[in-house]
Structure 1
Amino acid sequence: MSWALLPLAAALEIAGCLAAWAVWRQGASALWLVPGALALGGFAWLLALVPSLSAGRAFAAYGGVYVVAALLWAVAAEGERPAPLDGLAALMLLGGAALLLRG
Structure 2
Amino acid sequence: MLKTTALFVFTAVAEIIGCYLPYLWLKKQAPAWVLLPAALSLAVFVWLISLHPQAAARTYAAYGGVYIGVALLWLWQVDGVPLRWSDWLGAALSLAGMMVIMWGSKT
TM-score after normalising by structure 2: 0.89
Deviations 1:29-85 (A, max 9, x none): 111111100101101111111111x10110011111111111111111111111222
Shift of 1:89: 1.3
Matching residue of 2:50: 48
Q: Tell me the distance in 2 between the aligned counterparts of 1:85 and 1:29.
A: 35
How far apart in 2 are the matches of 1:4 and 1:70? 15
Q: CA RMSD in A?
A: 1.1
Q: Give the Å deviation of 1:88.
A: 1.6
Identity of aligned residues (%): 37
The residue that corresponds to 1:82 in the other structure is 83
Determine the structure 2 residue equivalent to 1:3. 5
Q: What 5-or-longer segments of structure 2 have no aligned partner?
A: none
1: CA distance, partners of 2:30 / 2:102: 38
User: Residue in 1 aligned with 2:34?
Assistant: 32
Q: Name the aligned partner's letter for residue 44 of structure 1.
A: V
Instruction: State the secondary structure of the residue aligned to 1:40.
Output: helix
Which consecutive aligned stretches of 4+ in structure 1 deviate over 4 angstroms post-superposition? Answer: none
1:23 alignment partner AA? W
Q: Structure 1, unaligned stretches of length 5 or more? A: none
Displacement of 1:101 in angstroms is 1.7
Distance 2:31 2:80 in 1: 24
Q: Which amino acid aligns with 2:51?
A: L
Q: CA deviation at 1:9?
A: 0.6
How many residues are paired up?
102
| Match status 1:62 vs 2:82 | no
2-side partners of 1:84 and 1:77: how far apart? 19
